[in-house]
Structure formats: structure tokens, C-alpha cells
Chain A
Amino acid sequence: MSDSKNISFTPESEALIKNLTKRYPEGKHKSALLPALHIAQAEHDGWLSVPVMDKVAELLNLQPIEVYEVASFYSMYNLKPVGKCLIEVCRTSSCWLRGAEDVVKHIEKRLGIKDGETTADGKYTLKTVECLGSCGTAPMLQIGQTFHENLTLDKVDKILEEWKDATNHSTYLNTDTFRKI
């Protein structure tokens, strides 16, 4: 087990994680693990370090291994650092048919990185992903919780520009995403 003493969550996040466990019957608090990991990731620069996962284990009263095995199974949990702007481009059939490859090549050229890499300044990470359920508005990419659809290369340029001076990491959820019980 790593040293999770230096890891802290905001009181709001800790309260939210505790609150999430109320959605399940007594003793079934492990069910809160997936949303808790999303909250942890959003609060810690968009990725899950071992100490962060250990802290989640502590908050939910789970063994660290229970957290690691889940975090390593699901594709939305990043187990290494990512750029402020995590660009996820869909590459499956419908998006491919409507030009996803061109979108990926364009971003690679613009940012000087390959799929899976992060720019040296830590601003952008490019990741190709599997079907995001936006096939009718292909090609598309996702940044945080936002779907950017019906992409053209001009649109892609504008999106990249918007993130140029970002100070915070893109996140899938906000503090008010989950209803409090």
C-alpha cells in the first residue's frame, strides 16, 4: 500500500462519496466505487495514481486491490497522467465511414503527437476510443462531458484553440452531476 496520507479530497467530494453509498442497501457500499473513482479522477488532474486509489479504498472501506482491479478494467479511468485537454476521438465504423481517420491525422499533425501521447507542455492528450454512441452525428470527439459532433477540420481547430489556455483538466462530471440523497 502506498502512502495515501498526502492525498486529500475536498470536503464536498468526500461528503458526496459518502452520500453516494446511500443509494445502495446496507453493506453494499462497494457499488459506489465506480462513481467514486470518477469523482477522484476529476479532482486529481484527470488520472488515478496509486495513492489516490488507496484513498478511495479508505473512504469506501474497501481493500486497495478491489479498487485497482476495477480501475484497470474500465477505459475511462486513466492510470497515468493526461493533458489538461483529453481528446477522445471515436474511430469505430460509423465515425470511420464519415472521416474519423482524417480527424485523427489532423489532430496528430496540429499537435505533433501520436494517438495515446501527450504534448510536451502537458496541454493535450490524444486518445482514439471505441464507439461513443454518436454515430448519427459522425465524426465526433469527446472532451470531458462534451460531445463535439458533425466535425469538420475547421471545427477541430476551433476546439483545440478553445483549450489553448486551459488551467483545469477536462472532467466527465461536475460537482452537481449526482443528486444528493
Chain B
Amino acid sequence: MGRKLLLENDHIEGIHSYELYRKNGGYRSVEKALKTMTPDAVVEEVKKSGLRGRGGAGFPTGMKWSFLAKPEGVPRYLVCNADESEPGTFKDRYLMERIPHLLIEGMITSSYALGANTGYIYVRGEYFYIIKILEKAISEAYANGWLGKNILGTGYNLDMHVQCGAGAYICGEETALLESLEGKRGNPRIKPPFPAVKGLWECPTVVNNVETIAAVVPIVNDGGEAYAAIGIGKSTGTKLISASGHIKKPGVYEIELGISVEEFIYSDEYCGGILNDKKLKAVVAGGSSVPILPADLILKTANGEKRLMTYESLADGGFAAGTMLGSGGFIVMDESTSIVKNLHTFARFYHHESCGQCSPCREGTGWMEKILHKILDGHGTLADVDLLWDIQRKIEGNTICPLGDAAAWPVASAIRHFRSEFEAYVNNRQSIPDVKYYFHCNNLDAAAAYSSL
């Protein structure tokens, strides 16, 4: 069994309540930080831990914190990004629903480290029942002296609020999130200036993902070095993986970074293998935006080495033969899956979610969806596949925020690794796994003939 740092007490019935959370060691990191450490010492531990942003970008958290500007007399803010919207990702929801106080505790300890006196947790609107859970947890934290004025008699003041979104994937991008938190449309800002200098209401701001902030708790409790001792190289600590698709046991798993992809998919401790014992066809390993990889390349790198669940191993081979750990949204597809149809759901998603500021993204995502729709409708041509390739190439790198890249990569990788399926769709008006089904529905004799091939 791998070590668990965030979900260690997940099995305890009622751990969402303040009483049980506290009884099981909750809020120790706040006591330790506020009473025995300087804010800089907390930042130092986070740096030592090697913790990287768990929302998807993987940027070193300690470094992000050290960029925070500290002009005299200007308030600083910590904003938690709980706008979890990357398709395939549901770990933050799980964490906030099951152990809400872990996030509140992490927010307090982190705010202290950053010298912030107000914190906001921006939760996607669809998670309204989670907002209620967090509001209750915050009330309990206030009632027990963990929030408010003069916390633990140390003179440190902190207020915390939950902010709701209203349905917009783009608000997971940190500057769009800040715009939304200011009561505006979620249009990403041009960087620089970065939020660390000019963030919420033009004040220095750190925006961190739910899981990142929660990880600060074990880091402060046990020390950055203990955290860094888990994992391999620059992939330290544990990661929550959201596993979905054609697997026997979908769910959220906390893994030690460094286990093999094969173990994660097939071991009973995690996904438990492919649903109905079918064959593995492809995996999207880190949320919808990361490149899709076929079974052989997700299990082993192009060099034949075992692929590991780390930032580096998943990226081994670049975009030609690798992918990214991203948000840890692990979507598994069995042999019956039509890659073209799955890609259409992604293309439709990005078209729907583009904020519309940059032409390449606003127009390009729509074109890609329409072309894929045309191919699925049986009217595609081989030139359309080339056109798709051309459009994604012209979106990538040409937009203010990474949504353009996120929309381009799934298209590029699907064509790169599964071009024959696109061509089969164009030539046969159906995808390969669909042929059998199509015959089955329309012509039983033909289906029988096809099955005997």
C-alpha cells in the first residue's frame, strides 16, 4: 500500500466534521506554523518539499510563493482555485466533500506563510453543494478560533470566504478566475504583470489549486524533506488521480508519484483493470487537454522503458511519443472506443468554453468541432484530416491563455497516433470499432459476415 498524506483519514466515518477532523490531528499545522515558525520558514519548507502545482501546470509552489510582491501597506491575497473543470478531473470535489477542513487548514497555514489576511476559495458554480459544505467548515473554523482576529493569540488575523462561479471552464485559468472573482466576465488577462505582482483588485495574489493547498498541511507537519523523500526526482510527494472511463474501479486514488502506469491501471489497489476484461486502447493521462496515447506508448516509453506516474516519465518522448501528468485526470478507453468520436466531445467542449478573446481560439475551436462533426456525419474527406492538423497548429501558442493549446493538443495527438481511424471514418463513413455495430443495427447478415472475417 502506498503512503497517503491527504486521504490518510478518508476511511474515517464523519471525518468531514470539525470534531472528528480535529480529534484525528487536524489543525496541527496551523499550531506549528503560527506558534513555532516564521512565515519565511514555512515558505522554506514548501520549497524543500519540491511540491508542484497540482492543478495541471506543475509549477513549483515554493517558487510561486517566493515571487509574491510585498509592498508596504498593500494587502496580499491567497486565492484557492477550486474551479475544477478539466474533463476527467474530479479529485478536488472529492477532497472538499470528504475532508473540507483539510483545505481550510491548508488555506490558513499558507495564508500565514504569504502574509495574507484574507483568503478566497473560488468554487465552480456547478459544485453548489460543495460550497455549502465549505461554508459550514469555515463557520466551524471561526467558531473554534482558527479564523478571525488574533488566531491562537499570535496576533495573526485571517478572514476566509467562499466565492461561487457560474459555469465557465476558462475561470480555472488563474487570471480569468481573478476577473470572475472581481464580478466580471472570465476573460484571461495578458501576463505580465503576473498575479504575484498585480492580482486580485491589483494587489499581490497567489492562486493555488485545492490539492496544492491541502498538501501544505503534511509538508508543515512532517517537514519538506519528508515530503520530498516520497517520489522520484522532481516528482515529489503524492498525487490525487481521478480515474474514469473503461476501468473496473473508477474513483479518486492517492498515489505515491513513481508507481508505474501499468500498476495504476491493472492493480486491484487502483483501477482494477479494464472493464469487462477488454483490451486497453488508449489513455488520456492528465485531463482532456494532454495528448492521448495509445496503449503501447502509455505503458512503455518509446525507448521501451516502463512508463511511470511522474511528471517526467509521462512527458518522456515529448509530444511525439509522450504526454503530461497535468491535473491527473486519467481517462481510460477500451478497444471498442472510437477515438474520433471521443475527440469530438473534446472539440465541442473547447469550442463551448473558449472565452472568445483571441481569434485563433474563438474561430479555430469552432472550425475543429464542425470538421469533426462533418467527418462523423459521413461527409468528411481526407483533406479535412489535414485541415484539422493545420488549424490546431495555428491555434497552439497564438492565444493569451493556455486554452488554445489545451484545445489543440488533443486534436494533434489523436491524428498523430490514430490517423488511420480518421481515414477509415472518411473512407467507410464509420470508425473502425463502429463498423460491427453499424452492421448489427442495419443488416444482420452483413454483421454475421463481418464477424466471421
Contact = CB atoms under 8 A, between A and B. Distances in A.
Interface in B143-167: 161-167
Interface residues on A, range: 35 or more
B411 to A, nearest CB: 14
B89 A133 contact: yes
Contact of B125 (A23, A130, A172, A179): A172
B185 A94 contact: no
Contacts of B135: 177-179
A150 to B, nearest CB: 9
B342 A97 contact: yes
A98 B124 CA distance: 24
A173 interface: yes
A33 B89 contact: no
A130 B125 CA distance: 13
A91 B341 CA distance: 12
Interface stretch (A8-16, A70-78, A111-119, A151-159): A70-78
A136 interface: yes
Given A94-B331, A133-B126, A75 B167 contact: yes
A147 B329 CA distance: 19
Given A97-B245, A130-B349, A25 B201 contact: yes
Given A93-B284, A97-B342, A133-B124, A76 B166 contact: yes
Nearest to A34: B166
B246 interface: yes
Contacts of A138: 244, 250
B129 A147 contact: yes
A64 to B, nearest CB: 14
Interface string A166-178: 0000001110111
A34 B164 contact: yes
B342 A93 contact: yes
B428 interface: no
Most central of B75, B124, B129 by chain A CB within 10 Å: B129
Contacts of A130: 85, 87, 169, 348-349, 352-353
A37 interface: yes
B252 A145 contact: no
A163 interface: no
Most central of A31, A70, A130 by chain B CB within 10 Å: A130
B185 A73 contact: yes
B244 A94 contact: yes
B349 A134 contact: no
A35 interface: yes
B395 interface: no
Contacts of B180: 34
Interface in A4-37: 23, 25, 28, 30-35, 37
B345 A93 contact: yes
Contacts of B92: 133
Contacts of A69: 184-185
Nearest to A36: B183
A74 B165 CA distance: 8
A35 B182 contact: no
Interface string A38-55: 100000000000000000
A96 B132 CA distance: 29
Given A34-B180, A73-B168, A135 B88 contact: yes
A131 interface: yes
Nearest to B247: A136
B450 interface: no
Contacts of A70: 183-185
A138 B355 CA distance: 27
Contacts of B331: 93-94, 97, 135
A175 to B, nearest CB: 11
Contact of A74 (B132, B168, B242, B243): B168
A66 B243 CA distance: 40
A136 B250 contact: yes
A134 B245 CA distance: 11
A93 B242 contact: no
19 contacts: A23-B161, A23-B163, A25-B201, A28-B201, A73-B168, A74-B168, A75-B166, A76-B125, A93-B88, A93-B342, A93-B349, A97-B246, A98-B246, A131-B88, A133-B90, A133-B126, A135-B242, A135-B244, A172-B126
Interface of B: 75, 84-90, 92-93, 124-129, 131-132, 135-136, 138-139, 161-169, 180-186, 201, 242-246, 250-252, 284, 288, 329, 331, 333, 337, 341-342, 345-346, 348-349, 352-353, 355
Given A23-B163, A76-B126, A173-B164, 8 more contacts: A28-B201, A70-B183, A91-B348, A93-B349, A94-B331, A138-B250, A142-B126, A172-B125
Q: Which 8 A-B pairs have the closest CB atoms?
A: A74-B166, A75-B167, A135-B244, A76-B167, A30-B183, A33-B183, A136-B250, A131-B87
